[in-house]
A and B are shown apart, each in its own frame.
Chain A
Amino acid sequence: MKNIKLRPVLIIFALSFVFFVGSSADARIWEYVETEFQTSAGYTDNLLADSSAVEDSYGLGKVSAKFYPLPIAEILLNGEYTNYGNYVDLTNYSGGVGITVIPLKENSRFSIYINGNFNSRGYRENFESFNTRIYDGIASLGYSVSPIMQLRAGFSLKSTSYLHVLAVDNTKYEIFGGVNTSFLGKNSFDLQMGYAFVDLTYWEKQVWHPPDISGAQYVLPERTDEYPPTDGHLKLLQIWPRYSRPIGDKFAIVINYSYRKFDDLGEIAVAGVTTQSLSPWASIYEGESISFTLKSFFLPNFILESGVGYWKKNFLNSNENRNVPLLAKYIILARHDEQNKAYLTIKRPFPLKSGLFIEPTVTINHTYNNSTNAQYDYTNLSISGGITFRY
């Protein structure tokens, strides 16, 4: 437990107390509170999702409590603790609070959804640079044109602060609109379009030197403090159509396509933080994807879900800190990935008459990532088993 701060752990224990001890309280409390406890254990052959291919096992505990002071409001408290078997420095905790308000009546054609959350995550000393505080929120308006068609539009933001690395702090703003409709009986089509902005700090191309080493596009001078980064923002356009339908009573298919493109982006490079699974830039890319998902109830009382997907991702250039003899310490790397993913999830829900809901889950994931940056050429197989208790 060395270097792990005590406060979030206490929050987790307090929430566990609500879950396990609270059941003996006045039954009416459960009209206002819903608690959930989840635990899981798993193994991955590529913990950091990069070419290092670090194998490890992990255990995770998660507790949450939802409070309903009013019929239109939900307050969420949650805590999470993840422990790693070999890579112990990656052990981390998180705690958060959130509120959701839905102020209009359910039979109204209009709907309003407002949600805000705060979450803090902390790592041990060697990974403290990845400690984050995240604020996120979403506000959206819906209009039911008919029982089978709903229009929606909204705004969301997510602000991530890295407590020890200021150059990678970012705030993402997104506006979006969409439509969902059914047609020809049991066919569903959903289209969403969005425009997103992110504040970021970057180096412009003028300060890069010509490339002279394998794998590097450009080279920065050794002393980056003589060439300070500039502040700006990046814009992303995204279109995401989805088709879905059931096949009989026990099978359903979903096909998703997405297209995303940076708008008016010059040649820039951002500060690299090279642990892929924790990188602030892992979700900032342009490209396209297509995925196919099958959900099934063909095994009695089980929920099976499996999917395959293909992603093409062009990431931002990153300014990586490397030991390159006779040249420079920092190099600018470009990265273009092609990724294939497949997964299978099996769940067995047990809704008990006492009101307790228990659900064991097993998940298998496989990812194959092919990248122009050798650091991100990797495969990843992960297997996890977990159980959820909800009351």
Chain B
Amino acid sequence: MKNTAKSIVILGAMLCLFLLSGGERIAFAGETVTKPYVDMDGDGFDDNASDEDGDAIPDAADPDYVPAPAEDENMSGLINFGETLKEVGIVEDFSTNMQKFDRLDFHTRAMAQNRCGFDAGEEFGSEGIGIGGSSGGGCVGGVCR
């Protein structure tokens, strides 16, 4: 009985450590982390993680990703025109219809699938004849594939 209680305490402590681990998201130089971890597409990875090249591999795990160099504030003593423009620049969305729809689609990714229908679970491993790719590319970087 004593051993059982001891095992439960150890397992409980290990479970707590597991659940609490990885709470901090790694930020690259120059990147501002503002969005918390969210997984609505159900692949385990953060849907909000950045994916610069759109290959469905988050930048943090993508060897192709080259972080943008951090701005050197001491580079010159002249006027920073970029900074000035940020304040007074015209804010307009020049995205295409497809890009705008992709953003809306990302916003509704959890609503687009009914996991409780009669056909639920049938896609596991895509057993049937098909292209393969059990769960598509998932959602990352604000786009779902």
Contact = CB atoms under 8 A, between A and B. Distances in A.
Interface of A: 31-34, 38, 40, 42, 44, 49, 58, 60, 62, 66, 68-74, 82, 100, 102, 104, 106, 111-113, 115, 138, 140-142, 147-148, 150, 152, 154, 156, 158, 172, 174, 176, 178, 180, 182-188, 190, 192-196, 198, 236, 238-240, 242, 244-250, 252-254, 256, 258, 260, 277, 283-284, 289, 291, 293, 295, 297, 300-301, 303, 305, 307, 309, 311, 341-343, 345, 347, 349-351, 357, 359, 361-363, 365, 367, 380, 382, 384-386, 388
A196 B118 CA distance: 7
B9 interface: no
Interface stretch (B16-24, B66-74, B75-83, B84-92): B16-24
B26 interface: yes
* Most chain A beta-carbon contacts within 10 A, residue among B26, B38, B63, B125: B125
Contacts of B111: 111, 113, 140-142, 152, 154
A33 B107 CA distance: 21
A184 B113 CA distance: 26
Contact of B45 (A154, A242, A246, A260): A246
Interface residues of B, number: 67
B3 interface: no
Given A305-B135, A341-B125, A380-B127, A192 B104 contact: no
A187 B19 contact: yes
A311 B121 contact: yes
Contacts of B139: none
A47 to B, nearest CB: 8
B41 to A, nearest CB: 9
Given A186-B37, A245-B44, A284 B118 contact: yes
A102 B105 contact: yes
A138 B114 contact: yes
A236 B96 CA distance: 42
B30 interface: no
A300 B100 CA distance: 31
B116 A295 contact: no
Given A111-B108, A249-B26, A345-B133, A196 B116 contact: yes
Contacts of B105: 74, 100, 102
19 contacts: A72-B100, A106-B106, A152-B111, A154-B114, A156-B114, A174-B116, A178-B115, A182-B37, A184-B23, A254-B43, A277-B128, A293-B43, A297-B58, A297-B61, A303-B56, A303-B57, A305-B43, A382-B129, A388-B131
B126 A363 contact: yes
A252 B43 contact: yes
A41 to B, nearest CB: 10
Closest 9 A/B residue pairs (Cβ): A252-B44, A194-B116, A185-B23, A343-B125, A363-B132, A71-B100, A31-B96, A188-B39, A68-B97
Nearest to A252: B44
Contacts of A142: 108, 110-111
Contact of B130 (A104, A172, A242, A384): A384
B31 interface: no
Nearest to B128: A277
A295 B42 CA distance: 11
B62 A301 contact: yes
B40 A147 contact: no
Contacts of B12: none
A319 to B, nearest CB: 20
Nearest to A156: B114
B64 to A, nearest CB: 7
Contacts, number: 275
A289 B63 contact: no
Given A40-B132, A182-B36, A386-B131, A194 B114 contact: yes
A198 B37 CA distance: 38
B127 A71 contact: no
Contact of B112 (A113, A187, A345): A113
Given A250-B61, A365-B125, A244 B44 contact: yes
Interface in B1-52: 19-26, 35-40, 42-46
Contact of B57 (A245, A297, A363, A365): A297
A232 to B, nearest CB: 16
A384 to B, nearest CB: 5
B44 A386 contact: no
Contact of B97 (A32, A154, A361): A32
Contacts of B128: 277
A73 B100 CA distance: 10
A32 B36 contact: no
A350 B96 CA distance: 22
Given A184-B20, A240-B120, A367-B127, A71 B97 contact: yes
